[in-house]
Amino acid sequence: MHFAGMTAATRIVHCLKAEWRMIALIFAIALGAALGFTLRAFDIHENPRNVMYVGFIGEVFLNMLKVVILPLIVSSLITGLAQMESQTSGKIGLRAVAYYMSTTILAVILGIALVSAIQPGKIGKGGKPLTEDLEVPDAVEPATTADTFLDLIRNMFPPNIVQACTAQYRTVLKPPKENVTETFDLIAVMNSSTMPNGILNTTLFVEQLQLSGAFPMNATVPPEKTVPTNEELSSWIIGGKFVEGMNILGIVIFAIVFGIVISKSGEEAKPLANFFLALNVVMMKVVGLIMWFAPVGICFVIAGQIMKVDDFGEMISQLGMYFLTVCAGLFIHGLIVLPLIFFIFTRRNPFTYLSGAGRAIATAFATSSSTATLPITMECLEKNNGVDPRISRFVLPIGATINMDGTALYEAVAAIFVAQIMDIPLGFGKILAVSITATAAAIGAAGVPQAGLVTLVMVLDAVGLSAEYVGTILAVDWLLDRIRTAVNVLGDVIGTGIVDISCRSYLADLDACAAEAAGGAVLPAEDVYYQHVEVIQTYPPNHVTINNPNGKVSYSTIETQKL
């Protein structure tokens, strides 16, 4: 954006015209927060139906975004891979995965360092331990660490691709039969305890229950619920079921293989490649229509979430230090570590680059879903930052699936926070286990709201901590989920930029060779990218458009020349 020769007023008008969507989104978030707190002040949030009414518009908007996720991810991945040779896609994919894994590990290390230094689990209300303040919720569904890992692998290879669009597999453990209380005839027990006048003899009734085994001897209340350990769970009966929720990891793996095979099949698969190209173009236009409703939808999403919080004062007094610890880690990782990595690899200003993706990051915060934000992220990077569509439509869907820096950091902090609450010291071995498990769990976490809360159980089990305490952080998770999702998307944006810049010369050479084969002028990579001569890859297969200082020239490459 050039401001030379413009007055201050003209510059402001120019900025408003260029960034009106971003400004509208920020205004919608602020307005939604103000609306939520105002309605709380009038006690409107006390009626659950009122909360539902306020959040209804936001719910509809989120559904509109979610409905395009599946066709957009599939068409983007297949289109991006079909346009490249397998060697090219392998090179790009390797760089993307290496970046995603490295930054996730860095996020976990940062989270562990912060929570170990601050020790938020030792600080409670009035200086008391947090265990005296927090109420332990009911136990969650039991699962071992091994089962969680195996479920992750199973979901990578779904038995039915149609079923993967709506469900994913989960191992279910049931206690062995000898631990299950035997059934008894309650009517017979009641009849045998009833006196001739028809009145129930309660003392005799309790004795009969005890003799039947339905109630423990010398007890007046049922035994306390406990969470079984990994050792105990290993002897439980193993079952499985498909639970509701898109198996995004399995769909991504399938789409990657499908796209690579199309690329290798050449002319025979050209009609199929054109079909997914057309689908991708249509889905991007549908997303553009949906985003016209974004400011209104996001406003009511935020308002509804604020109205759902039970007590802000209690939340801050009990979990304030935990909240600040996670936020500190997320801000350090998102605003210092990731931009520094971008600068080291590209020697460019990371914040100038990130400004082009501001709308995507704001949408991630509002929706708390990296997959729902994916279409906006693609649009921002391609239109504002000039990222090659072959890169963005391949790297971003993978990032939305496996790149969960914010989630990994959050899970590492939460696991050690729970250990501090329980006053259980963690040695180096267990901290290492937290690091490895948090990294793996973050990769397996779906890009949907509060998915990290589910995989946190896996991290706790890995180090023998009680999964009961997962519920203690629910009070602040709704807000932390939004912040860590924004960091996840910021990481996707940075990673895509690094891969794009590192592969530009390679892709430019391919484009120049294609143009030369078609009889056009040869434009070396250094001319294209260092003298601001733009090469645009359009998407009929084997078609290149080169935008040089003398004008735009299109080339249709020879059939044997693959890009």
* pLDDT the model gives residue 444: 57
552-562 tens-digit pLDDT: 333 333 333 33
Percent of the chain with pLDDT over 90: 14
455-478 tens-digit pLDDT: 676 677 666 676 666 666 766 777
Mean pLDDT of 299-311: 82
> For the chain, which residues make up each domain, given as ranges?
8-127+141-165+242-506
* pLDDT the model gives residue 208: 61
Q: Measure the CA–CA gap between 117 and 311, rounded to whole angstroms.
A: 28
Q: Which has the minimum average pLDDT: 27-36, 48-57, 309-318, 424-433? A: 309-318
* pLDDT the model gives residue 346: 92
Residue appearing with tokens 């159980």:
457
527-554 tens-digit pLDDT: 333 233 333 443 334 444 444 333 333 3
Mean pLDDT of 59-75: 83
393-447 tens-digit pLDDT: 888 888 887 788 888 898 888 888 888 877 777 777 778 777 877 777 666 555 4
Q: Measure the CA–CA gap between 366 and 486, rounded to whole angstroms.
A: 9
pLDDT at 115 over 70: yes
Going by pLDDT thresholds of 50, 70 and 90, the confidence category of residue 337 is very high
Q: Measure the CA–CA gap between 80 and 76, rounded to whole angstroms.
A: 6
Q: What is the mean pLDDT of the chain?
A: 74
The two tokens of residue 193 are 């305890």
* pLDDT the model gives residue 13: 63
The answer to whether 522 and 553 are in contact (CB under 8 A) is no
149-180 tens-digit pLDDT: 788 788 889 999 999 888 888 888 887 765 54
Q: Measure the CA–CA gap between 182 and 18, rounded to whole angstroms.
A: 70
The two tokens of residue 216 are 């423990």
* pLDDT the model gives residue 535: 38
Strands (E), 80-192: 167-174
pLDDT at 289 over 90: no
Under DSSP, the state recorded for 228 is P
pLDDT at 57 over 80: yes
Tell me the CATH number of domain 8-127+141-165+242-506, given options 3.40.50, 2.60.120, 1.10.10, 1.10.3860. Answer: 1.10.3860
